[in-house]
Amino acid sequence: MQPIMRSRDFIYLESTGMTTMTNGERVRFQLLYSILISEAPALHTYKLVRGNMTLNYLFRQKSEGVVEWYVKAFIDLIGDMPIRVATTLSASGMVSVSKLEDYALMRKLN
């Protein structure tokens, strides 16, 4: 029996950090950009489809205990995945970034 959809993988560069805006406000950012590396070809042997993405996150503290975050994303899951499924999976993956701080605290990486 064939799977309904094939798994995806991504190769990307990531940059995270904090910067100060001209008004003195500090914002945190996380940037992810897909890249091509000839030494890391697509893994057809494992039946994986290599996707492409650009994700830009900005986080700013609005008030004590409240953080606003903004996302700009371009995601191409490649292949013939139905658009509703692709949109749902992409949104789920993007929202999961909000859990990173919790994971860092659990692993004492903060």
Q: What's the pLDDT score for residue 4?
A: 65
Question: In this predicted structure, what is the pLDDT of residue 102?
Answer: 63
In this predicted model, what pLDDT tens digit does every residue of 53-105 receive, in sequence order?
A: 898 988 888 888 888 888 898 888 777 767 777 777 767 766 665 666 666 55
In a domain, 55, yes or no: yes
Map tokens 């749902």 to a residue.
Answer: 88
Task: Evaluate if residue 110 carries a pLDDT over 50.
Answer: no
Q: Does residue 3 sit within a domain? A: no
Residue carrying structure tokens 């697509």 = 42
Q: Which residue has the higher pLDDT, 92 or 37?
A: 37
> For residue 91, what are its two tokens?
């949104």
Residue 36 lies in a domain: yes
In angstroms, rounded to a whole number, what is the distance separating the alpha carbons of residues 35 and 32? 10
The pLDDT of residue 109 is above 50? no
CA–CA distance, 83 with 64 (Å, rounded to integer) = 39
6-24 per-position pLDDT tens digit: 777 889 999 999 999 899 8
Query: Residue 1: inside a domain, yes or no?
Result: no
pLDDT band per the 50, 70, 90 thresholds, residue 45: confident
Range of the domain at 97: 8-106
| Count of CB atoms situated within 10 Å of the CB of 75 | 20
Q: How many folded domains does the chain comprise?
A: 1
